[in-house]
Structure 1
């Protein structure tokens, strides 16, 4: 079946023009405003991409984006949304991107360019779905406990260095991505635990099958993988990393409803490093890894680039975090924690986690303290 595109615009002329562009390569569905578009998304799971105007009655494009990115349905929440604009001003592009737009096109876009963008976006959705299904299948197979056949770190470094040198020589881009995987209980703060080996190995197999033949991937730690990719736009590399993070987090691998998988991916490009005066492969790998670990420590599933890392280091939340598909796990300090857990945390040196519950704990233990004091007086 041809991928289905939802076109939301109150102008009949604009809808007809867009349909003329995509007819033959895509199926389409029309909506006259944001409300109609939202209803279509709820009832039609075959929609792969949304094309939306920004100014519409009842619910405008920004309102539609807000609903999509905050939806509890992952199919809708991760839907690529292309915003149609009457101008190509950077301010409007930035606002649309902050609101959750995947791409922005002007109303005079050429047919070939539009078809190319829509084809890429629809394939992203298909690939993500295949990744999730494949990940679930692999982790439940009996042979995933075996070590996956990925490059060793030394082999990865040799191949990646050749890619980096070639990219610099030919003035092309080169990107290093580091993905760290964690397992977290939603009621507890602190650094996520390591997932089972079968889950990590399954993720490694899927990454090995997902990356292009020209890219290289290696397992570079107990819970981490590093990927080198060249001849790719930085935004495309971020989209790939984002897709992988979402697929890992959305895959039905954890049966306990209180436990969640976190997949944080640090990214760095050779262009960024050149601007900072640093371009050695080892430095790039360290930057990508530090960003991934920073995201993991903050319980974030998603991509951590330079801007995200700076905000997290300053203790700030990431603006528009739902836009990029990242999810900050809810932190809570007033849930009841059993005494054995708190004592174990003290032995492990996790005083900060204990202090987060000390107020409620002191109230609950006060009767026991009173009884001990009474006994001592006697």
Structure 2
């Protein structure tokens, strides 16, 4: 099958898959002018379009379609051997906002879920995050490699921690007043070392990360360097799932970039995630300092457990149930110090599978406890009957 050559477009391209012409027309009316779009009448047609068009940045799909439904399309996308397809953001369109349907869609690999009555501003905001704010992992990864390799890192003029605190407090107050969401991300970078004499991050890495973060956030978002190898981002009017998606991709890109030319070393990037919609039971009494402190605590926990990825409320609860995690969490943070490699807890691995991150789970399967492996083998034998 022929593949279209990548083109340079000012507008991000969105694929809309829905068997209803009325729904497609409504979505197009919302996004035209800001996004390019392609249409598909069913999941099979959407799949074929994804294979031939590498310029699609986001997929919007209905769940109920002929030939191949939305769940089947999600299964193909998340199981694809083609990285650009496997990692593409997928927004599911639903006729309801029920938690059961949302959870099933997320478990199948959906990045976000919207209802058919969504407003233009809200839809555009979510798509903007997924298409522009969320640069693809490989783009970020390659850019990071190029900046460091060719010594092209510029001095990043990021706001100070004090400026961030002042501006973020205003952003938070507006979010609470208008009943919007507010998210704080804290990204910490460190080294997993097999050699104790190496404990310093390669030159230029932290500055390069700051430079790329500044490029990839929206003008309305805030980012500041808040530690030796730590960045804090604050953003309002963002869907929590989209924020987690962005953070996960950035962390994976940092850890996967070819920046450490030593088999004894590898980068770790952990992001603590805090959201009003997920963490703050009483939004009237939440301050930016409180939320930023929670995000920092979670990032430290992930870093000291040698986990690349996100640590939100659920992940924090799981990690803290481990004695090793509790012990590591109370140690002073030295972002570039040696960190022992750890095996994620089983609930964390399950959460990763639900998020479509099977590739990150596979390396840990042979490290599971023997009794758990035996249980998995028994389940497989039962399924094979």
| Interval of TM-score (by shorter of Structure 1 and Structure 2) | 0.5 to 0.7
How has the CA–CA distance of structure 1 residues 180 and 278 changed in structure 2, closer, same or farther, with 3 Å as cutoff? farther
Q: CA deviation at 1:284?
A: 2.9
Q: 1:298-337: per-residue Cα shift (whole Å, max 9, x none)?
A: 4443332112211232344323415547645834888xxx
Query: Is the CA contact (8 Å cut-off) linking 1:7 and 1:15 kept in structure 2?
Result: no
Structure 2 gaps of 5+ residues are 1-8, 322-344, 368-385
Query: Is the CA contact (8 Å cut-off) linking 1:264 and 1:301 kept in structure 2?
Result: yes
Pick which of 74-83 and 86-95 moved more.
86-95
Q: 1:106-125: per-residue Cα shift (whole Å, max 9, x none)?
A: 45667787666545533345
Query: Is the CA contact (8 Å cut-off) linking 1:267 and 1:303 kept in structure 2?
Result: yes
**2:151 equivalent among 133, 138, 142:** 142
Q: Normalized against structure 2, the TM-score is what?
A: 0.65
Q: Normalized against structure 1, the TM-score is what?
A: 0.66
d(CA) in 1 for partners of 2:122 and 2:227? Answer: 41
d(CA) in 2 for partners of 1:198 and 1:224? Answer: 14
Query: Is the CA contact (8 Å cut-off) linking 2:298 and 2:312 kept in structure 1?
Result: yes
How has the CA–CA distance of structure 1 residues 278 and 70 changed in structure 2, closer, same or farther, with 3 Å as cutoff? farther
Q: CA deviation at 1:241?
A: 2.8
Q: 1:91-115: per-residue Cα shift (whole Å, max 9, x none)?
A: 1122112222123344566778766
d(CA) in 2 for partners of 1:81 and 1:292? Answer: 26
Secondary structure, aligned partner of 2:50: helix
- Could you say which residue in structure 2 is the equivalent of 1:374? none
Q: 1:197-219: per-residue Cα shift (whole Å, max 9, x none)?
A: 32112001222343445544333
- Aligned pairs for 1:314-325 (under 5 A) are 314=321, 315-318=345-348, 319-322=350-353, 324=355
Q: CA deviation at 1:159?
A: 4.8
Query: Is the CA contact (8 Å cut-off) linking 1:48 and 1:125 kept in structure 2?
Result: no
Q: CA deviation at 1:179?
A: 0.3
How has the CA–CA distance of structure 1 residues 289 and 74 changed in structure 2, closer, same or farther, with 3 Å as cutoff? farther
RMSD: 4.2
Query: Is the CA contact (8 Å cut-off) linking 1:21 and 1:115 kept in structure 2?
Result: no
- Could you say which residue in structure 1 is the equivalent of 2:73? 64
Q: 1:119-144: per-residue Cα shift (whole Å, max 9, x none)?
A: 55333455766644543332233253
Pick which of 216-225 and 242-251 moved more.
242-251
Bigger Rg, which one: 1
Query: Is the CA contact (8 Å cut-off) linking 1:242 and 1:324 kept in structure 2?
Result: no
Secondary structure, aligned partner of 1:303: strand
- Could you say which residue in structure 2 is the equivalent of 1:79? 88
Pick which of 255-264 and 242-251 moved more.
255-264
How has the CA–CA distance of structure 1 residues 281 and 7 changed in structure 2, closer, same or farther, with 3 Å as cutoff? closer
Secondary structure, aligned partner of 2:315: helix
**1:104 equivalent among 113, 120, 134:** 113
Q: CA deviation at 1:78?
A: 2.1
- 1:176 equivalent in alignment to 2:206: no
- Aligned pairs for 1:177-196 (under 5 A) are 177-184=185-192, 195-196=201-202
How has the CA–CA distance of structure 1 residues 76 and 295 changed in structure 2, closer, same or farther, with 3 Å as cutoff? farther
How has the CA–CA distance of structure 1 residues 306 and 108 changed in structure 2, closer, same or farther, with 3 Å as cutoff? closer
d(CA) in 2 for partners of 1:89 and 1:322? Answer: 22
Query: Is the CA contact (8 Å cut-off) linking 1:301 and 1:328 kept in structure 2?
Result: no
Query: Is the CA contact (8 Å cut-off) linking 2:111 and 2:242 kept in structure 1?
Result: no
Structure 1 gaps of 5+ residues are 335-378
Q: CA deviation at 1:18?
A: 1.1
d(CA) in 2 for partners of 1:169 and 1:246? Answer: 34
